[in-house]
Amino acid sequence: MGKRKVYSERDISETLVMPSEGQLFGRVEGLLGSNWAVVLCSDGKVRQCRLRGKLRRKIWIKLNDIVLVEPWSFQPDRGEILHRYTIGQIDYLIKNGFITKELAGEVEEQTGG
């Protein structure tokens, strides 16, 4: 096994995917199977979200992951998962005030921060 690459804060901020118009941060609360998950979004709503087709075989979603969600315009209680954030990116988002510690509560306990 190789060594894990250490990214600087500058590297993280340059490659970080930020939400655009109509997109939210969210935390995965449950996994439903068939690329569906229950996500608690930053607006306080719980949505059933599916993993975007382009990402299905590239990333794995786990419980308490922080993800980028785009709610569906025709069915607001559902949405699409567009991106999963790494632990370093989550620390950066919390430190700079983009997400609250309550939203990332379980993740912060795992990282020891």
Q: Are 78 and 49 in contact (CB under 8 A)?
A: yes
SS (H, E, C) 49-101: EEECHHHCCCCCCCCCCEEEEEECCCCCCEEEEEEECCHHHHHHHHHCCCCCC
Task: State the pTM of this model.
Answer: 0.78
Q: For residue range 53-88, what is the model confidence (pLDDT) as tens digits?
A: 878 888 888 899 899 999 999 998 999 999 898 888
What's residue 33's pLDDT?
84
| Residue type (1 letter), 35 | N
Only one residue has tokens 């921060």, namely: 113
The full set of domains in the chain, from first to last, is 23-111 (2.40.50.140)
